[in-house]
Structure 1
Amino acid sequence: MTAAPSLEARAASLSFLLLLCFWRDPGVGAKELKFVTLVFRHGDRSPIDTFPNDPIKETSWPQGFGQLTQMGMEQHYELGEYIRKRYGKFLNESYKHQQLLFLPFKNCPRFQELESETLKSEEFQKRLQPYKDFIETLPKLSGYHGKDLFRIWSKVYDPLFCESVHNFTLPSWATADTMTKLKELSELSLLSLYGIHKQKEKSRLQGGVLVGEILNHIKSATQPWNLRKLIMYSAHDTTISGLQMALDVFNGILPPYASCHIMELYLEKGDYFVEMYYRNETNHEPYPLTLPGCTPSCPLMKFAELVAPVIPQDWATECKLTSKHEVLRLILAIAFCLVSSILVVLVFTLIRHGPCWPRGSYRDI
């Protein structure tokens, strides 16, 4: 016969059972990274083009215009090292390369209308006013006679900036004050491209397309069958700014070389959260970005709800790609198809059944 357990033993057993009831695996509910999207700008490059009076011609650049420089390669290498450090334990060695995007989308008539409206808007003219006298001096100095800010950015400021980075001697008129004005005009050009006037509608036609694609990938990452862990977009300053304008987190400054917009999906206590960061300095950890209306760690459902207004449902229709001329062409194409179909049926009938007149009459001839 077994002796009954002592009071102390029963108390110890009860304490152990209570401990088991309240104990949980420390890994359960811990914040877990599930998916990452990176949109980064290319590194330092030679100018895409230059102005007529520029003494530095394409031959001065070893690889010609629009090519990554040694400095740019080093910037990419540094960014790659940071990405490996941040996600090395999260990723495996599998990698798939595709060409995925380019912003701004050019073939969008409605966006072109909005661009034109922006340039005429009171807000844009107000911002441009302080630079009008300066813009009037540029044709004589640079030899470039256009007044389109986007072209001034690409044909005047960009080559001068690239030359200054690589220690070329700039024209005497390209003073520090001139370079500051050109930089501010370039930033105004970028801002006017995606914002200032009807920003949400512009975003639906540009950066919102990318937002929608990224959101779809994020949602897919919540499914058990998903194996993809990271999508990386190699992009331009216009791509990053277009994305950030659509998300309403743009700081108004031209994205520097090798800058990177980071979006991370986390699972914590059964719920998904989206966090965003912007890496625009090599000697500083990425800066947290907060989607307006949410918290730095934004619940996925709330994130999707807040970005929904800038995601197009039918991009072609919103761009007004179906013009009257295209409608006419479509009608003619449909008519041609119908006529062709009728002819095919007639020919098939003639081949299968012969002429429509009686066979007897044919024999009597």
Structure 2
Amino acid sequence: MSAAALFLLTLGCLCREAAAGRKLIYVTVLFRHGDRSPVKAFPTDPHQESDWPQGFGQLTQEGMRQHLLLGQFLRLRYRGFLSESYDRREISVRSTDYDRTLMSAEANLAGLYPPAGQQVFTTDLKWQPIPVHTVPMSEERLLLFPLGDCPRYKQLMNETEHTEEFINVTTTYQDIIKLVNNKTGLNQTVETVWSVYDTLFCESRHNMTAPDWVTPDVMEKLRLLKDFGFQVMFGFHKRQEKSRLQGGILLGEIVKNLSKMAVPDPEQRLKMTMLSAHDTTVSALQLSLDVFNGRQPPYAACQIFELYRDDNGSVSVSLAYRNDSAVDAYPLQLPGCSLDCPLEDFVRITKLSISEDRDKECQLPVEGRDKEVIISLAVAGSLILFLIIFLLGVICWQQEPSTSQGYRQVINKEAGEES
């Protein structure tokens, strides 16, 4: 980091602290992992998994450097707030259970807490182990989106695909999608073509030669479709309801922690919660806040929540986003609030994107359920009626000769009794 950049960053930190006599009391940071290898290759790709030292989906050395720099940035931004040396009671770190996110968190912490003094356990290694917590992917409910366990969300996605704008985008880019499918041997759609862009993007960052059909124009169109895909998943159509079923889960946890940390507690030592996740995690959260800029969060992008207490005791929340390692994080304004948003207003505004009972909201609307029930009953009733008619037909066919003779006997008997 240059001397000029360091000076500006330090000056920015001092200005934030001095503003209105505010005191920083708690921080949450959510970041995307660093540069990685592709998650997969397409069938005709000249570069396959063997071309990557650690295989698919793994953090590269460039990704490690990106997070080392981000950790150093956080060290400078929170100088005087976080202790100079690592204190396990001051920071809590959680990651999704992927190699690239776990390693990104570790590289970040290496920049945030370089060992000094008693924390140096060997003189030839300027690093110290710091715990990073996770849960199995099958149990991840906080940091990995979109979650696929929600019928209502699936219904919303189906509605999205039938909107006029979605159909227009599909029509506009049908030629590029057809080209991609012909050249890759895949069957991509507007929603899935991002995977081809991702593979080509990763390869281009590591100076691998692209196939002849991959021109700058093709890459730009694929980039636009990729960004559109993030909007489709978490916004675009009924954004707030999608948020309640996806990114609002994480937002709700963050708001709960902010509210808890706003209550003075002399026993409370926690100062920072660090979350290591993915581009979809950052996008889902930003769309639940309605501050998404429409672009895929780049590697090591970092969404920041800062909780301040003023001299008069009031508490406020400030948002910042760092999506370029060459510059400081820039402020984000929550729609309907000021840059320094009073906590009570922050809670009130974000409540619209947070579900109090997600399991209930994930169920299909009553109208949809009634329609499904009616259809099911109609089909079942038709099958039963057909079965009854069929059985009666079989019975009548088997008993027709004897039934005719028996009927005459009964009539004769009754006639005799009546006479």
Task: Report the 3-state secondary structure (helix = DSSP H, G, I; strand = E; otherwise coil) of the residue aligned with 2:192.
Answer: helix
User: Which residue does the alignment assign to 2:225?
Assistant: 185
TM-score, normalization by structure 2? 0.68
Q: CA deviation at 1:179?
A: 0.4
User: Which residue does the alignment assign to 1:98?
Assistant: 133
Give CA deviations for 1:218-239 in whole Å, capped at 9, x if unaligned.
Answer: 0111122333211111010000
Q: Is contact 2:177–2:188 with CA below 8 Å preserved after alignment?
A: no
- 2: distance between equivalents of 1:72 and 1:282? 12
Match among 353, 358, 374 for residue 315 of structure 1 = 358
User: Which residue does the alignment assign to 2:289?
Assistant: 247
Q: Is contact 2:152–2:365 with CA below 8 Å preserved after alignment?
A: no
Match among 248, 251, 256 for residue 208 of structure 1 = 248
User: Which residue does the alignment assign to 1:305?
Assistant: 348
Task: Report the 3-state secondary structure (helix = DSSP H, G, I; strand = E; otherwise coil) of the residue aligned with 2:25.
Answer: strand
2:32 matched to 1:41?
yes
Question: 129-138 or 283-292: which moved more?
Answer: 129-138
Give CA deviations for 1:19-58 in whole Å, capped at 9, x if unaligned.
Answer: xxxxxxxx9x721001101010000000001211101000
- 2: distance between equivalents of 1:126 and 1:152? 16
- How many correspondences in the alignment? 296
Q: Is contact 2:23–2:309 with CA below 8 Å preserved after alignment?
A: yes
Matches within 5 A, 1:1-365: 30-92=21-83, 93-95=86-88, 96=92, 97-99=132-134, 101-147=143-189, 149-154=190-195, 156-225=196-265, 226-268=268-310, 269-320=312-363
Task: Report the 3-state secondary structure (helix = DSSP H, G, I; strand = E; otherwise coil) of the residue aligned with 1:48.
Answer: coil
- In the alignment, residue 98 of structure 1 is paired with which amino acid? H
Q: Is contact 1:123–1:196 with CA below 8 Å preserved after alignment?
A: no
Question: 208-217 or 225-234: which moved more?
Answer: 225-234
- In the alignment, residue 94 of structure 1 is paired with which amino acid? D
Q: CA deviation at 1:98?
A: 2.3
- 2: distance between equivalents of 1:322 and 1:91? 47
User: Which residue does the alignment assign to 1:351?
Assistant: none
Q: CA deviation at 1:282?
A: 1.1
Q: CA deviation at 1:138?
A: 1.5
- 2: distance between equivalents of 1:257 and 1:239? 12
Give CA deviations for 1:86-110 in whole Å, capped at 9, x if unaligned.
Answer: 1232123223432252222121121
User: Which residue does the alignment assign to 1:346?
Assistant: none
Q: 1:45 to 1:231 in 2, by over 3 A?
A: same
Alignment RMSD = 1.9
- 1: distance between equivalents of 2:27 and 2:246? 22
Q: CA deviation at 1:322?
A: 12
Q: Which segments of 5 or more consecutive residues in structure 1 lack a partner in the other structure?
A: 1-26, 325-365
Q: 1:39 to 1:218 in 2, by over 3 A?
A: same
